[in-house]
Structures are given as structure tokens and as C-alpha cells.
Amino acid sequence: MPKMTMIEALRDAMDVKLAQDPKVLVFGEDVGYFGGVFRCTAGLQAKHGEERVFDTPINESAIVGMAVGMAAQGMRPCVEVQFADYVYPAYDQITQEAARLRHRSNEVFTCPLVVRMPTGGGIFGGQTHSQSPEALFTHVAGLKVVIPSTPYDAKGLLIAAIEDPDPVVFLEPKRLYNGPFYGDHSGKSVGWAQHPAGEVPEGHYTVDIGKADIRRAGSDVTILAYGTMVYVAEAAVEQSGIDAEIIDLRSLLPLDLETIKASVEKTGRCVVVHEATRTSGFGGELIAEVQEACFWHLKSPLQRVTGWDAPYPHATEWDYFPGPDRVARALKKTMED
């Protein structure tokens, strides 16, 4: 089985679907000739042609609006918003048009659309290249929201998203594109980068949207994480010595509450970790779901470890992120309470 980085796995997923289905289109800013700012689409235009893989003007609303119209007419567009921070001009098209089209038309029209976007920090991109806006989309009925943490999941989830009959917001953690790592204030990698690639099957396969992955089995506490924070959680468990069960959510909407519930009922404790800001972040929804489903099984208060409630701090981003130290402290606290 070949090994791929997440970038290579995403490219392979689009390549597979472009070859399989003539209705699939890939487009966005610099996606065609240049191959995308992160090179996720490199070589696809040369292989599949300018009518299937093409560049657009710098206009996110137009990119997604055009894709909604194409999807309503039977095409399967897979569009790239260059950074998640740039999605706001297209928010109306995603939430008011794409998410509602099936229901407002009484299923006369559907919207099989994928909106890919690099998300999160870790590349010293500053305030306008580092945001984690997943909670803005998990609030919207009619959307699906996924975020992979491994190359295997990235390819399988993207193929599943392209084949899905409804719109999918596909968030890609930039810090995982070329292998998971965390760093210090200089940006120097101090962990994880020794595993830049993972085994990814050739050809077509899918990972079910709406199904979490038990990344590590444990008995003391459940950690709910997604994207880059899965690796932070793993490092924190090793640092703390606590036997934690790590659940990689993979899909935020729909949410695999069954897997979460079974884990928390077993451990009696739960720590939620995400990179986005704390207030109104997706962690609040996770805590509410766990509290409602597992109240009588809980042995201690639920814990959240998140980004700061502040505009993204360029100079101190490695403090802003939940790191292994902060997660390890939360694990110890939930064991002591």
C-alpha cells in the first residue's frame, strides 16, 4: 500500500473521482494551472483538462454560487476556498442556498457540492490565514461538516463527500498537510513530523461520513478531538500517563453520538479539545450532548481545552493552541475531581 501525505491523499481522491465521473468538476482560486496554494490540485488540470479543473476569479461568493447552480443541474463540483478565513463572502451561498436547496424545493433539486478549505493555524499565517470556523457550519441544518486527521481518512472522506447527495463542508487542517507536527515560537518542529505520510489504498474507497474513529482505547477518561488536536491528545496522554480513550470525531455533522456515549459511559470522564476559540465553539455542543446522554455515568465535571477567546495571535500562536501540556493538565484535573 503506498504512503501519502494528506496533500497527496486529497489530490488522489479528486483524481479518482475526476476519472470515474464526468460530472465531477474541480475549481477555485489558483486551483487549475498552479495547482492550488498548497499544491493539493497539482497536475489535475494537465491530466483532466481545463474544462474539468479550472481557475476562477478571486470571488468566493461567485465560486460557491456557481457551484450551487451546477450541483442543482446534476454536476458534482468540488470547489476550493483558498483559506477557511476567506469563506465569509460565500457564507450566504453555503448556508442560505446550498444547505436549503433540497428542502426548499421539496427535493426537486439537490446540491451535491463539496467546499474544501484549509483550516486552522500553525503556519504563521496570521489572523487572516489561521482561523477555525467549523462551529459556523455545524449550526446549519442541511450541511455536513467533516475534518480528517490522517491521509487515509482524508482520501476516503473526500471521495464520500463528492459522492454525497448533499453539500459537505470539508475542512483540511493545514498543520497536517505535510505530516502532523507541533512547534515552538520559532516554528521549529519538535514532534510528530517523523511520520509525514500514512498508508493510503490505491483507487476508490470511502470512509463513512458520520462515523467516529476510536484512535486509542482507554479506561480512565474519554478525549473528544478532531483534526490536529487528535495528535495533541495523543502526546498529552503519553505525557500524563493517564489511560485515556481518544475519539477522533472525523465528522462533526452528523455527529457519531453512539460511539461517544459508549466511551463516556465506560470511562465516566470526558475532556473536549479543539483549536477554535472557546466561546460558542463546537466543544460547547459536544459537552451538552455528553451531559444529556451520559449524566448518570459521569464521575467528574466535563473539561474543555480550546484556543483563546481572542483574535488569532500571530506572535504567540503556539501558546494560543491547546498543546500537550494544557491537555495533560485537564486530564489530571478530571481524574482528581
Q: Catalytic residue numbers?
A: 129
Q: Distance between alpha carbon 49 and the CA centroid of its chain, in Å?
A: 28
Return the SS3 of 3: strand
Taking Cα atoms as reference points, which of 114, 91, 93 lies closest to residue 31?
A: 114
Residue 207: CA count within 13 A, CB half-sphere: 22
- Residue 323 CA, chain-centre distance (Å), reads 18
Omega cis (within 30) before 57: no
Indicate the SS3 state at residue 53: strand
Whole-angstrom distance, CA of residue 144 vs CA of residue 206: 16
CB 225 within 8 A of CB 248: yes
Closest CA to 209 of 269, 275, 164, 258: 164
Order of strands across the sheet with 244-248? 213-216, 244-248, 221-225, 270-277, 303-307
Say how far apart CA 213 and CA 52 lie, in whole Å: 33
Q: Which of 89, 94, 40 lies closest to 71 in space, CA to CA? A: 94
As a whole number of angstroms, the distance between CA 171 and CA 129 comes to: 14
The terminus-to-terminus CA distance of the chain in angstroms comes to 45
Pairing state between β 213-216 and 244-248: antiparallel
Helix (H) or strand (E) holding 118: strand 114-119
Contact 271, 305 (CB under 8 A): yes
Q: How far apart (Å, rounded) are the C-alpha atoms in residues 206 and 95?
A: 26
